[in-house]
């Protein structure tokens, strides 16, 4: 069984700047990914290398995951409040503050310095991530969850940001980026009550949903079989 995240499970993300949102070359960009805007991440932070697994959930929460299967699979069927509770309990266990990433932090990490549609370029194939259909609707993937870490990490050393499971972030849903913060913080003002941003796409999605800029929302109480999360760790509690 997995244990609570160890030192090797964390990747330190450097401070930096990036352009957040849809790019001109992307034919699938929608208004919810615009306007594209520069974000400056002023301080480094740590993020979990992989999405939280069933085994880690069982250890930290001292209970079986909602949809218990292989301990190395990402935990799914967890709503937003339960993901927040996991972060609180991990903070108590370790004495260091843990939280969900902001939407801006998530995209910064996902891009890994890239300015393309996907982190590795303007196209994607099943070797890059777990997704089921190609754009013509033809099945090309396994059609099920894969174990966390099954795909190569990005330039920052973080894995599985695209495909496999969508990921909760801390931000409430806004249907655009007008007046969004430019410092990497969570956009907590004036969002839709009860809706939270999800990112990354999942195992049962088309490639267009795995783009770095793709974003959508889910009800806070959603317990979907393709929705999980990963965690940010602060330097000190």
Confidence of residue 115 (pLDDT cuts 50, 70, 90): very high
CA dihedral 51, 53, 57, 59 (to 10 degrees): -120
Q: 33-47, 51-65, 157-171, 220-234: which range is least confident on average?
A: 51-65
Residue of 118, 129, 96, 111 lying closest to 232 (CA atoms): 96
More confident residue, 8 or 152: 152
pLDDT of residue 68: 62
**92: CB partners within 8 A, 6+ apart:** none
188-200 pLDDT, tens digit per residue, is 998 999 999 999 9
Confidence of residue 23 (pLDDT cuts 50, 70, 90): very high
pLDDT of residue 209: 97
Secondary structure (H, E, C), the chain: CCCCCCHHHEEEECCEEEEECCCCCCCCCCHHHCCCEEEEECCCEEEECCCCEHHHHHHHHCCCCCCCCCCCCECCCCCHHHHHHHHHHHHHHHCCCEECCCHHHHHHHHHCCCCCCECCECCCCCCCCECCECCCCCECCCCCCCCCCCCCCCCCCCCCCCECCEEEEEEEECCCCCCCCCCCCCCCCCCEEEEEEEECCCCCCCHHHHCCCCEEEEECCCCCCCEECCCEECCCC
**What's the predicted TM-score (pTM) here?**
0.94
> Using an 8 Å Cβ cutoff, are 165 and 145 in contact?
yes
Average pLDDT of the chain, as a whole number: 94
> Using an 8 Å Cβ cutoff, are 167 and 229 in contact?
yes
71-103 pLDDT, tens digit per residue, is 999 999 999 999 999 999 999 999 999 999 999
pLDDT of residue 123: 95
More confident residue, 50 or 7: 50
pLDDT of residue 2: 45
Compute the average pLDDT of residues 22-38: 96
pLDDT of residue 1: 41
pLDDT of residue 7: 57
Confidence of residue 69 (pLDDT cuts 50, 70, 90): confident
Domains of the chain: 7-232 (3.90.1580.10)
């Amino acid at each position: 069984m997995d244990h609570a995240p160890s030192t090797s499970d964390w990747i330190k993300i450097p401070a930096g700047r990036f352009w957040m949102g849809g790019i001109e070359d992307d034919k699938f960009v929608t208004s919810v990914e615009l306007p594209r805007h520069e974000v400056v991440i002023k301080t480094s932070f740590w993020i979990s290398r992989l999405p939280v697994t069933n085994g880690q959930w069982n250890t930290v929460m001292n209970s079986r995951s909602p949809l218990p299967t292989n301990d190395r699979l990402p935990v799914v069927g967890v709503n937003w409040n339960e993901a927040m509770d996991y972060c609180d309990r991990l903070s108590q266990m370790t004495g260091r503050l843990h939280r969900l990433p902001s939407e801006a932090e998530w995209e910064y990490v996902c891009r890994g310095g890239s300015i393309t549609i996907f982190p590795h370029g303007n196209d994607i194939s099943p070797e890059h991530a777990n997704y089921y259909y190609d754009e013509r609707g033809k099945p090309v993937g396994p059609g099920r969850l894969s174990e966390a870490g099954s795909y190569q990490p990005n330039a920052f050393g973080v894995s599985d940001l695209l495909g496999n499971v969508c990921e909760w972030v801390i931000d409430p849903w806004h249907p655009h980026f007008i007046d969004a913060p430019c410092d990497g913080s969570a956009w907590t003002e004036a969002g839709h009550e009860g809706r939270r941003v999800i990112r990354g796409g999942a195992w049962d999605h088309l490639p267009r949903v795995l783009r770095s800029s793709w974003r959508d929302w889910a009800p806070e109480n959603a317990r979907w079989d393709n929705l999980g999360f990963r965690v940010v760790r602060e330097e000190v509690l």
